Amino acid sequence: MAEFQWPWQYNFPPFFTIQPNKDTQAKQLEAWCLLVLSYCRHRRQYSLDVTDAQDSPLFHNQKIGRKLPLEAVYTVLEELRKKGNIEWTDPKKRNRCLIMWRTPEEW
Amino acid sequence: GPTGARRAGIVGIERKLEQKRKETDQTISVAFEDLSNLMEKAKDMVSLSKTIAQKIQDKQGAISEDETVQFKSYLLSLGIPNPVTRETHGSGTNYHMQLAKELAQVLQQPLEECGGMMSLADVYCRVNRARGMELLSPDDLLNACKLLEALKLPMRLREFDSGVVVVQLVSHSEEEVVRETSRLVEESGSLTAEELSRVASFSVMLARERLLTTEKKGLLCRDDTVEGLRFYPNLFSTKPVME
């Protein structure tokens, strides 16, 4: 399997802090959503366990020593859910979700 | 004789001490009595001034501006500022207006020297340290500064979202701050408030406000970690999402 191509944001420390400026945050979340989808597509992964994902390279860049806080992981995942790209297996617990690289409509 | 010896002995000393203590007690109780008399008088003044405030409210508009101003200086000398009923009848006091003018003169140069902006606490220190006597109370300073704008003096009181209050020169524009701050951050790659204060010699508090203002304008973004709050140029807005 080819090496995953990380986007430039992945090595930019502010990527790992949810930005308070709304415009900036919108761009940041857009980048996160794209990253999560392309990462899962690359690994042919259809489901995601929140706790495991937080420790995986996806949300944890060891090279620059930054990790997306759990709260922020949920912010990103909720954003994806709104777009129709994920679905919680248990919406109450929100500990595991199914990932659709394409939205059901696109299929 | 034996009586003289006793007076000079321990009992004598004790008796003397006792007498001294009684005298002190008397002085203190006299002082307290005077004080309560004085307070009694002031109480009359307070109730009187409240009656007058009530009257002003009743006859809104009927009383000339001059009379309200005079009334305010009475209240001020009594130490019973009464903003609720006063604010509606003339804004501030003569004393504060004069004080504002003096502040504008004293602060012009220091403000220019420190980049056009100074926290109110710094202003308070500077002004009072220079005075030595007849110091300003924090309230006086704040009230005087609130009048700066109305008097068209070359500086303004300004409150940041964080609640930090500063005095800044009118000539000192927000755009300038934002441009200058983002330039400094770009030069160093990234900066914390402490680092910016060192680079540009602002106080740490003002450096922080500058960074936050610039972030709000969308030119900076933050990296919040246990090591501290660090600001970077906002690449999210300048670089495309995919590259």
Amino acid at B168: Q
Q: Which of A49-63, A93-107, B45-59, B86-100 shows the highest mean pLDDT?
A: A49-63
- Contact yes or no for A8 and B225 at CB 8 A: no
Interface contacts (A, B; CB < 8 Å): 57
Give the model's pLDDT for residue B39: 87
In the chain, the amino acid numbered A97 is C
Inter-axis angle of helices B174-188 and B193-200, nearest 10:
100
What does the radius of gyration of chain B's CA atoms come to, in whole angstroms? 29
Taking residues A62-76, what's their average pLDDT? 93
Predicted pLDDT at B1: 45
Tokens of B30: 């006299």
Closest in B221, B223, B241 to A24, CB measured: B221
ipTM over 0.85: yes
Give the residue from chain A lying closest to B234, CA to CA: A24
Burial class of residue B227 in the structure, from the number of CB atoms within 10 Å of its CB (0-12 exposed, 13-18 middle, 19+ buried): exposed
Percentage of chain B modeled with pLDDT above 70: 87
Query: Distances from the Cα of B194 to the Cαs of B37, B123, B202, B211, B227, in angstroms?
Result: 54, 21, 9, 11, 12
* Contact yes or no for B221 and A7 at CB 8 A: no
pLDDT digits (tens, 9 = 90+) for B135-181: 889 988 999 999 898 889 999 999 988 888 999 898 877 788 899 99
| DSSP conformation letters of B86-151 | HTTSSSS-HHHHHHHHHHHHHHHHHHHHTTTEEEHHHHHHHHHHHH-SSPPPHHHHHHHHHTTTTT
**How do B165-169 and B117-119 pair as beta strands?**
antiparallel
Residue B170: what pLDDT?
Answer: 85
Put the strands of the sheet holding B191-192 in their side by side order. B191-192, B228-233, B220-225
Interface touch B232/A12, C-beta < 8 Å:
yes
Percentage with pLDDT > 90 across chain A: 62
Using a CB–CB cut-off of 8 Å, the residues of A that contact B are 7-9, 12-14, 16-17, 19-21, 23-24, 27-28, 30-31, 34, 66
Range B54-59 average pLDDT = 72
Q: Which residue of A has its CA nearest to B230?
A: A14
Check CB contact under 8 Å for A7 and B243: yes
> Which chain A residue lies closest to B223 (C-alpha atoms)?
A14
- Min Cα distance A103 → chain B (Å) is 20
What average pLDDT does chain B have?
A: 84
Q: Which of A16, A17, A34 sits opposite B242 (nearest CB)?
A: A34
pLDDT, position A3: 83
